Structure 1
């Protein structure tokens, strides 16, 4: 039986831009992605579907519901019209609260629902850290401490030690989305540690894609943000180039 070629193979032959489909809960910093798409002048397509949200709360029970299989399957169905090459669950807390094994199973279920390679922002952080050879990092988290510690645990299983954890106790994604450039730079500076090889900023509700080079200049080391690693991982699992300008050390050759 003949099989249809993958969308990524067709795009590679025709020179079309790769498409990373994003499942994004709510809308707090969703505008980061179309702005990036515009800035890159068509080098990447980032079709986005807003997944349903029960309660906007950085609380474990609410986050388990946020990342439930039903919500992601519904979003994956809506993404099919965009013919993505890969699909990303663009949410850190709604993936790391499931733990290492649970986050992988979540991504596998999403891949089955979408019929495409799939991953999540939490797993993207580990993949990005490995790509840069990072083993010791600082985390500048917007979340309450108990939620942020789940991220630390996932990183540890992935072979990344957190030498400093800064948590800012922000309870809702809506509030995180209001933080501007100066506040984000301040968060990264406050979260840095002399023993850290990089600073990780794990919240897709936080705007960051326009400021990545500024953030790295501020601390003098790589900075990995949630929206940045989400795009990078989507391109990586789609088999597309991850070399793009203005997106920090992670995207440089």
Structure 2
């Protein structure tokens, strides 16, 4: 059994995590602890407070007691808003506090894009344009080219959590460009776990979404690879050829 720990701010799309656990169909356990969201606002000052060290540290003990082997800060904007170096400092502090390997959804997107060979990506963000722009800067700092960026101007995670499949699909389609190797939807408040096959079929390319990438990043930290096609191209392992 591999136990994965997640720190998730507030309550929006946390039900993606038990769904992903079920779809993994393996000996993977997903443990999620809610952190204090403070002010629910996609605004730089509020997002910086959202991922403050003391807020993340408050949830760590529960994950340790649950036997988690790695922890991921399951909030994209609460990571990249600190910039590339600041986000590194954030996860280093989290690792020290937790006493286990740590990462964040923001770094998960960079690692996942490279995993699937997506050098160029289009971004469909629920955020206001200025916050979406900070995510694009973060990706570029990680060596991922952004071919197109679409913001949606949504201010709160609570509103994002109400979006259904049609809205998610429209966001992905509007963001996509022919030269993009993949489309990224960077908000852990967005329900996407149930929509991944439909998204990739509609766009004809890989789609990386925040909660999907967050769980994959935790698996990466524990050196686990799971074949789960219902979770998209990111979770499809190439078969081993016997010679």
Runs (5+) with no aligned partner, structure 2 = 238-243
Partner of 2:112: 128
Runs (5+) with no aligned partner, structure 1 = 1-15
Aligned pairs for 1:205-224 (under 5 A) are 205-224=189-208
1:111 aligns with 2:95: yes
Partner of 1:84: 68
Of 153, 160, 163, 1:169 maps to 153
Moved more, 74-83 or 191-200: 74-83
Moved more, 40-49 or 25-34: 40-49
1:249 aligns with 2:233: yes
Following TM superposition, by how much is the alpha carbon of 1:53 offset from its aligned partner in structure 2, in angstroms? 1.3
Aligned pairs for 1:1-253 (under 5 A) are 16=1, 18-41=2-25, 43-253=27-237
Following TM superposition, by how much is the alpha carbon of 1:80 offset from its aligned partner in structure 2, in angstroms? 1.3
Deviations 1:31-52 (A, max 9, x none): 1111222344553211000001
SS in 2 for 1:45: strand
Moved more, 240-249 or 100-109: 240-249
Q: When the two structures are superposed, what TM-score results if normalisation uses the length of structure 1? A: 0.91
**CA–CA separation in structure 1 for the residues paired with 2:7 and 2:215:** 12
Are 2:20 and 2:231, in contact at CA under 8 Å, matched by a contact in 1?
A: no
Following TM superposition, by how much is the alpha carbon of 1:76 offset from its aligned partner in structure 2, in angstroms? 1.1
Are 1:20 and 1:84, in contact at CA under 8 Å, matched by a contact in 2?
A: yes
**CA–CA separation in structure 2 for the residues paired with 1:131 and 1:39:** 20
**CA–CA separation in structure 2 for the residues paired with 1:80 and 1:247:** 27
- Give the 4+ runs in structure 1 shifted more than 6 A: none
Are 1:236 and 1:242, in contact at CA under 8 Å, matched by a contact in 2?
A: no
Moved more, 56-65 or 76-85: 76-85
SS in 2 for 1:246: helix
**CA–CA separation in structure 2 for the residues paired with 1:132 and 1:39:** 20
**CA–CA separation in structure 2 for the residues paired with 1:217 and 1:43:** 28
Q: When the two structures are superposed, what TM-score results if normalisation uses the length of structure 2? A: 0.95
Moved more, 41-50 or 148-157: 41-50
Aligned residue-pair number: 237
Taking only aligned residues, the RMSD between alpha carbons, in angstroms, comes to 1.0
Partner of 1:7: none
SS in 1 for 2:106: helix
Are 2:23 and 2:231, in contact at CA under 8 Å, matched by a contact in 1?
A: no
